[in-house]
Structure 1
Amino acid sequence: MPKHDPIDSELVRELANLVTETGLSEIEVEKGDLRIRVVRRIEPVSVQVAAPVAAAPAVAAAPPAPGPGAAPERGKAHPGAVPSPMVGTAYLRPSPEAKAFVEVGARVEAGDKLLLIEAMKTFNEIVAPRAGTVAAIFVEDGQPVEYGEALLAID
């Protein structure tokens, strides 16, 4: 019977902290025949609206051309904005030739897949925090996104 080194609890803590700090959903390390996998459950992010906003036509207007450093601000003022829970690359479709998960005007239910964010070769599903209609999509397929950046808006 092969003899294993005792599990390094400090390594497990470091991996758990790394997963939390980077926004990853999981990380796995392997050394010899010892494998440690740390998985974090990502909850959908919901946005609470304090008062209804009457300026709906502004959503239909084309977004301003992004300038340097403008991407994280895009869409933040929208009350139905769905923010990115992590840093990574946004993908609006499961593969380059596939149809997008959602489009502007699509009806979504809470928990429906909206897009993927790839971080460190792991694809993380971003799901609708509530039911509604997709009012705007603020990111493009393959675009890098920052933590808290508005991905899309659900009315």
Structure 2
Amino acid sequence: MKKPSGSRSDEPEQGLVDIAAIDQLAQIVAKYDLSEVEIDRGELHVRVARERGSPAQPQSTATPQIATTAAARRPAETVAETAAVPVAADLAGAVKSPMVGTAYLRASPDAKPFVEIGSVVKPGDKLLLVEAMKTFNDIVATRAGKVVNILVTDGSPVEYAQPLMVIE
């Protein structure tokens, strides 16, 4: 694969983008089912991404304490409950992740969750945190309503635009 070396005084600027290299990156993304590949070389920045065909399944609707207890007693039923949750991508009122990262429903492992199912929220209320690159980002309510569904568990990975919870 040819590496762009930036602009040189003896070469024309058209060599800065190597279309064949970008095509190879796209093939790698498809072959290994990656969501994206990003490369930086000086002034050159290339990002190749591929949208997934179907949205990720929600992981759980129970609060983390209940999910842990249920999983310890009846793991098969917990899996069945997760599969029965409707696909949340089409839900009105879904709060979606603005980034790829890890979702946290509480400020620390021993703290109480920011919100629970049934909590009434107003715009600006903190719902959860999404940690990306060691930075914790507040996810806040954009409208008033009642939390009717929490679609992620504490510490679970989330994708960009993945529904995290539903406010009605």
Class of the TM-score when normalised by the shorter of the 2 chains: 0.5 to 0.7
Paired residue for 1:93? 106
Matches of 2:121 and 2:82 in 1, distance apart? 22
Matches within 5 A, 1:53-68: 62-64=81-83
Residues 60-103 of structure 1 show CA distances to partners (whole Å, capped at 9, x for unaligned) of xx54269xxxxxx9411211101100000000000000000000
Paired residue for 1:145? 158
Letter in 2 for 1:142: G
Matches of 2:115 and 2:132 in 1, distance apart? 21
Matches of 1:145 and 1:105 in 2, distance apart? 23
Q: What do you get for the CA RMSD once the two structures are aligned?
A: 2.2
1:84 matched to 2:97? The reply is yes
**Is contact 1:74-1:138 (8 Å) kept?**
no
Residues 91-141 of structure 1 show CA distances to partners (whole Å, capped at 9, x for unaligned) of 000000000000000000000000000000000000001000001000000
Paired residue for 2:24? none
Letter in 2 for 1:138: L
1:124 matched to 2:148? The reply is no
Larger helix proportion, structure 1 or 2?
2
Matches within 5 A, 1:100-119: 100-119=113-132
Which of the pair has more CA radius of gyration?
2
SS of 1:76's partner is: helix
Task: Tell me how many residue pairs correspond in the alignment.
Answer: 90
SS of 2:165's partner is: strand
Paired residue for 1:37? none
Matches of 1:75 and 1:143 in 2, distance apart? 16
Greater RCO, CA 8 A, separation 6+: 1
Listed as ranges, the gaps of 5+ residues in structure 2 are: 1-60, 62-80
Letter in 1 for 2:91: H
In percent, how many aligned pairs have the same letter?
60
Listed as ranges, the gaps of 5+ residues in structure 1 are: 1-58, 67-72
Matches of 2:124 and 2:133 in 1, distance apart? 24
Matches of 1:100 and 1:74 in 2, distance apart? 24
